[in-house]
């Protein structure tokens, strides 16, 4: 392919998950998705390789390929047109339980040609506390409803037992099911757009061109890595607590080796998993590493599987950054992931001191609230904080950093105060403020 054709294909693939994200946000029920857009969308080929991802939440997107891989592993040759698979299990490619993933296989001419997938943070998924992120959780089941990969839609029909679990085990099930159906709709849109692309270019040609695009992204990132020099650097930092009433410090250590056109990241020396909720599933650890790699190499390279081929990530199973079930993980996704990024940038501060930031807030400042009476509700928020300074500018204040990216629209305008009470009926109507 010539460069112009390659760019046309890159743009075509990139547009699909962006449009999926717009559809998801507009049709969602909860403020967490509709207002905060705590959700992400991506497109995959028939082998589960990521073709494109929208610029949504970084901690979702680097880990979503593991979810699609879990679907391929658990449904070998049994997926059908109209199916959508649901999962949130952190030990099957998820991040933490509130992040619910839906994967939609796409078929053309009787064969699988790809997947549309999205992940959205549900404000409550059950468990021992509203918001499903209890600080005193010790096991995954404490944090809510666990969904191993299973069909939510079977040939286009919702499966009753999945609906029943959401109805009976979550706060505000109407909102939960509304968000789920918005996720379904977003995937349906992504599937239609992929089918249109396949019809326009032909399936065989599209597969061949997709391979070229993945290889192109890999070449760009490897070329950027070669400019970084060679060497091995390490750093460590500590989490201050394992959760509620657990105050011991927990070490995160990483060693980064840059050699030739590849990068190896080894978390040997990180502490063992803990009896708290700060354990980070390996998919989250990989996601944080991919994010840092993108920051230091070629941020304009296509966001696909090829861009991540040059990096290898190692972490001992049973460690804080690669826990074994049934360890709790809710804060691993939103707290430990941020600290992993800080540790990696700290290690890179020696060879790349003119390019990497100082440590940022190292947290997402999570707020969850909810109640079951008088009317069930749940709400989730990440509160902005401080960005680490860069060599060429101060760090920004009041922003989301690194593994979370939430945009709020600041609105201003004239406030109209109506002081005149209502019309002259039998009684005096109230006004916006009381009069003497």
The token pair that represents 206 in the structure block:
């599209």
pLDDT of 435: 43
* H or E segment to which residue 86 belongs: strand 84-87
Which parts of the chain sit beneath pLDDT 50?
Answer: 427-436
The token pair that represents 46 in the structure block:
């028939």
CA distance 25 to 278: 29
pLDDT of 428: 47
pLDDT of 302: 93
Q: For 83-120, what is each residue's pLDDT tens digit?
A: 999 999 999 989 999 999 999 999 999 999 999 999 99
Q: What is the pTM of this model?
A: 0.89
pLDDT of 269: 98
The token pair that represents 428 in the structure block:
């005096």
pLDDT of 430: 42
In the chain, how many H helices and how many E strands? 11, 15
Q: For 350-368, what is each residue's pLDDT tens digit?
A: 999 888 988 888 777 778 8
pLDDT of 197: 97
pLDDT of 367: 80
CA distance 173 to 167: 5
CA distance 212 to 222: 15
pLDDT of 358: 84
Per DSSP, the residues of 268-330 read TTPPBP-SSS----HHHHHHHHHHHHHHHS-TTS-SSHHHHTTEEEE--TTBTTBPPTTB--H
Q: For residues 290 and 265, is the Cβ–Cβ distance under 8 A?
A: no
Per DSSP, the residues of 46-65 read TTS-EEEE-SS-HHHHTTHH
pLDDT of 59: 77
Residues contacting residue 374 through CB under 8 Å, at least 6 positions apart: none
CB neighbours (10 Å) of residue 178? Answer: 17
pLDDT of 301: 92
């Amino acid at each position: 392919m010539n460069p112009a054709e390659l760019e046309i294909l890159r743009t075509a693939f990139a547009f699909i998950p962006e449009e999926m994200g717009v559809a998801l946000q507009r049709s969602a029920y909860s403020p967490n998705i509709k207002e905060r857009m705590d959700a992400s969308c991506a497109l995959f080929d028939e082998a589960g390789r990521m073709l494109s991802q929208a610029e949504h939440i970084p901690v979702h997107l680097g880990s979503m390929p593991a979810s699609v891989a879990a679907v391929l592993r658990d449904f070998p040759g049994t997926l059908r047109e109209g199916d959508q698979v649901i999962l949130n299990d952190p030990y099957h490619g998820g991040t933490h339980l509130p992040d619910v993933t839906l994967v939609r296989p796409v078929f053309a001419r009787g064969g699988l040609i790809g997947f549309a997938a999205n992940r959205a943070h549900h404000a409550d998924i059950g468990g021992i506390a509203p918001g499903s992120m209890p600080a005193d959780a010790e096991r995954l089941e404490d944090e809510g409803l666990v969904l191993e990969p299973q069909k939510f839609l079977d040939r286009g029909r919702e499966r009753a037992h999945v609906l029943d679990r959401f109805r009976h085990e979550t706060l505000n099930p109407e909102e939960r099911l509304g968000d789920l159906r918005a996720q379904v709709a977003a995937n349906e849109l992504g599937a239609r757009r992929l089918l249109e692309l396949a019809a326009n270019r032909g399936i065989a040609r599209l597969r061949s061109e997709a391979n070229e695009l993945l290889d192109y992204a890999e070449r760009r990132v490897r070329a950027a890595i070669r400019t970084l020099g060679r060497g091995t650097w390490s750093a460590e930092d500590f989490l201050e607590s394992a959760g509620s009433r657990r105050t011991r410090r927990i070490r995160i250590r990483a060693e980064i080796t840059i050699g030739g056109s590849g990068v190896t990241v080894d978390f040997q020396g990180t502490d063992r998993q803990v009896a708290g909720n700060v354990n980070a599933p390996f998919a989250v650890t990989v996601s944080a590493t991919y994010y840092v790699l993108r920051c230091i190499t070629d941020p304009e390279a296509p966001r696909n599987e090829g861009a991540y081929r040059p990096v290898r990530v190692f972490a001992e199973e049973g460690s804080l950054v690669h826990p074994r079930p049934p360890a709790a993980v809710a804060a691993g996704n939103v707290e430990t992931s941020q600290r992993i990024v800080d540790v990696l940038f700290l290690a890179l501060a020696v060879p790349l001191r003119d390019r990497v930031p100082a440590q940022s807030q190292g947290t997402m400042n999570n707020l969850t609230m909810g109640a079951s009476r008088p009317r069930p509700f749940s709400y989730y928020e990440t509160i902005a904080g401080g960005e680490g300074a860069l060599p060429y500018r101060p760090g920004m204040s009041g922003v989301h950093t690194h593994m979370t990216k939430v945009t709020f629209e600041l609105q201003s305008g004239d406030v109209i105060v109506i002081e005149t009470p209502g019309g002259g009926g039998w009684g005096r109507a109230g006004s916006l403020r009381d009069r003497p």
